[in-house]
Chains A and B, each alone.
Chain A
Amino acid sequence: MVKLTTKNVLSEKEFQLISIREEVIKAVEESGIQNGIVLVMSAHTTAGVMVNEDLECLHVDMEKMLDKMAPVVADYAHSHYLPSYGATGGNAPGHLKQMLTGYEVVFPVIEGKALIRFAQDIYFAEFDGPQLRTYYIEVMGE
């Protein structure tokens, strides 16, 4: 059996970690699936889904580390006019940060609950905001 939940979120900053742990827990419980896996996935290429501990100091470190690896200003090949959009590519750092963090996470589902440990918060990770974003929670199993 497969149950898909689609969620929207309005980010408010260019870089923002938005906790979606409770949404994932709820979607699993409401799915009726007892054993299997839950996939949480971003619908975008400049925003990801990631797992880490919910500590503000870590959020600061993650943002700084990602900014060092993909700084706002650099000689990005993506920064040119894109006829397919009718716009100039201005979000190369967002694409690269999403590549670094990934766009999906998976957890086991056992006896109707997602097996998420205490320190594992699940984030929708915005790297190109503010934007209206979508992510998917898909529970698969029996």
Chain B
Amino acid sequence: MSMVIDVHVHPGFYEKISQDKQEIEFRKKHAHWDLMSPFPVELTRAQMKFANVDKLVLLPMDLTTSAGGWVVSNDQICTMVEEAPDIFFGFASVDPYREDALDVLEHAFKDQKLMGLYLNPSKQAFFPDDPMMDRIYEKCIEYDKPIIFSAGMSFCDDCLMKYGKPLNFEPVAIKYPKLRICIGHMGWPFIFDTAAMLLKYPNVYADTSMLYMDSPEQFMHDVFMKQYGRLWLDNDLGDKIMFGSNNPRFRTARIKRGLESLDIRPETLEKILGGNAERFLGLEVK
């Protein structure tokens, strides 16, 4: 049995790294969160136990040049992983416009042992195939670290969705075939472009962190059983899609419940819930 891994969690309200009220307000403003408040890691454990989830991948976001701060820093991700290494995997982030971006990444991968990189093209305002990104992709390949991109729709007021369209990642997938990349949120609403990317490029994955309307069961059914063909997950895309929730915007348990309600083969569900993530994260025994 594979682990059950939620690959898309933003720990914006984890108590241990949420002591500064001004910082919480910064996170809320820049991640478009509201009416949420800090909670202890014991609650996360209870929620994971209830949902039968083994690991959460924690994602920071570096907005140094555009906003003067982070929506959870790499250091804070390390703090949470140290706090509960049995339930958390930590990713790094970097603002691609930083002059010291490579130093930040080198430190994150070499010293902090973070497992991958999170980038948000819409929020960080860059096109994935911008030449300035080459050095970042090459650093990820050097350390064999995957990248999760936020893609598709963004709720943030200052985000342009043009940066995060799934086909924007095609030049990256071609140029860096050894770089594993994930189109976050299935690139919704551009889900057919995402399907094409998943079919065409072995190094491209996507995650299910989307619940933009309706209940998890209704939304997942509409996307994966009606808008996509009924057999697409079982026969075509089941090796490339990973369970992700976008917690705290959408609860881990609820997104999982939506996926579990789909009429797909048990082995496909197991891959989506964790098997594909194990491969993407480089956890598989080679």
| B19 at interface, CB cutoff 8 A | no
CB pair A81–B46 under 8 Å, yes or no, is no
Contact A79 B213 (CB under 8 A): yes
Contact with B along A108-130 (1 / 0, CB 8 A): 00000000000000000000011
Interface residues of A, count at CB 8 A: 23
**Best-buried of A72, A74, A87 by chain B (most CB within 10 Å):** A87
Chain A residue numbers with a CB within 8 Å of B190 are none
Q: Total A-B pairs in contact (CB under 8 Å)?
A: 72
B50 and A88 form a contact (CB under 8 A): no
- In the complex formed, the residue of B with least CB distance to A12 is B46
The number of chain B residues with a CB under 8 A from chain A is: 32
* B211 touching A12, Cβ below 8 Å: no
| The one of A12, A76, A90, A129 that contacts B254, using a Cβ cutoff of 8 Å | A90
A88 to chain B, nearest CB (A): 5
Bound complex: CA A93 to CA B155 (Å): 25
C-beta contact mask, A68-98 vs B, less than 8 Å → 1, else 0? 0000111010011101111110100000000
- For the complex, would chain A's binding face be called helix, strand, loop or mixed by DSSP majority? loop
Contact surface of A with B, Cβ cutoff 8 Å: 10-14, 72-74, 76, 79-81, 83-88, 90, 129-132
Q: Which residues of B contact A (CB under 8 A)?
A: 28, 31-36, 39-40, 42-43, 46-47, 49-50, 155, 211-218, 248-251, 253-254, 257, 261
